[in-house]
Structure 1
C-alpha cells in the first residue's frame, strides 16, 4: 500500500517522494486560508523547499519504521495528504492525520482514504489502537472518525496553537476488536 494503493477508480494513495515537493507546496499554497484554520504547519510552509523538507522528513520517518505520509491523488492531481504521525510498535498504537483540498471536500474522499489506511494498519502491523485528534472547531474532520466507528475519549485542553490562539482537541480511538471492515 505504501508505494501505491488504489482506494477507488479515481483515488490513489502513494507515499510522497521528494520530486513531488512542488505539487505539495501548490496544494498547501492554493488552500492556505482554508487549511490554516486547523493545521499549524501551514503558516510555516512558505516555499517549495519547506514542502521538500517535510517530504524528506516523512521519508526518513518511513525508513525508521516510525510511520509514513501518503499523497492522495485524484487522476494524477495531488489533492491531499494522509499518514501516520508515528508508529509505536511497543505499545501497539498509532495516530492518523489528514487534510484535503477545499474543492474536494464533501465527496467522501477522506472517509474512504482513512478507512483504507485503517485496513492497511490493522492488516500489516500488530497495532491495537488507532487515534485521531482534531480541533473541537473542526466539524468536517470530526465527522470522519464518527462515521468509521471511533469512540470519542475526551478533549485535550489548549493543546494546539492555531493561528496564534490555543485550541482544544477531540481525541478519538478505534481498538482492533472494534474494527469492522
Structure 2
C-alpha cells in the first residue's frame, strides 16, 4: 500500500475502506466550498457514494491506471490528491486534487502535489506530469504555477459544473525540467 510521509504533520496514503466515514463527512461538510469547481460533489450525497468512489479508486490502483490518496494533516483527512490517469504508453501522469476549506493556507496541497510529482518522475519514470484546472479556479491554478509548471494552453468548454460549462487551463512539467530543479 502506498503511504508517504511528507513531514511531521502531513502524509499521504492510498484511499481505503477505513477512510469512508471521515472522507464522506469531509465532503458533506465542505459541499458548498467544493461544489463551485467539482462536478462530482452533487452526486456524492450518502456514504454509499463515497464507498463506490473508494472501490473504484482501489480498482484503478490495482489496474495501474491511477491512484487516489487521502491527504492526512495532523491526524485528520484534509482532502485527496492522486493520479486521475497514468498514461503508461505516453509516459504522462495526470494529477488531480481537492482540499477542505479549513485546511487551506498551510501549504498542504503544494507539498502533496510536489510529492506526487517526485513519485511520478523518480519511481514511475513518467516523462510528463500534467495538471488541469478550471480556468477561473485561481486557487487550484496556483499549485502548478507555484511548482514551476508551464502553462500549455486552454481547453475550451470541457467541463460542466453547477455554474455552467468552464474552460480548463492545462499545465505540464517534463521529467528533464523536474530533474533540472
- 1:128 matched to 2:132? The reply is no
Structure 1 residue 124, shift from structure 2 partner? 1.1
TM-score between the two structures when normalised by the length of structure 1: 0.96
Q: Distance in 2 between matches of 1:114 and 1:3?
A: 15
Once the two structures are superposed, the pairs formed by residues 131-170 of structure 1 within 5 Å of their partners are: 131-170=130-169
Q: Which residue of 1 aligns with 2:4?
A: 5
**Aligned pairs for 1:3-152 within 5 A:** 3-152=2-151
The residue number in structure 1 matching 2:172 is: 173
Query: 2 CA distance for matches of 1:155 and 1:56?
Result: 32
Indicate the SS of the match to 1:153: strand
Deviation at 1:164, TM superposition (A): 4.9
CA contact 1:89–1:126 (8 Å) conserved in 2: no
Query: Aligned to 1:7, what secondary structure does the other structure show?
Result: strand
CA deviation after TM superposition for structure 1 residue 75, in Å: 2.2
Measured against aligned partners, the alpha-carbon deviations of 1:34-54 in whole angstroms (never above 9, x if no partner) come to 011001110100000000100
Gaps of 5+ in 1: none
Any idea what the Cα deviations from partners look like across 1:62-87, whole Å, max 9, x if unmatched? 00011110000012211100000111
Shift of 1:8: 1.2
SS of match in other structure, 2:19: helix
Equivalent pair of 1:72/1:78 in contact (CA under 8 Å): yes
For 1:172, what is the secondary structure of its paired residue? strand
Which moves more between the two structures, 16-25 or 51-60?
Answer: 16-25
Aligned equivalents of 2:111, 2:159: Cα separation in 1: 27
Distance 2:112 2:103 in 1: 13
Quote the Cα distance in structure 1 between the aligned partners of 2:44 and 2:100: 15
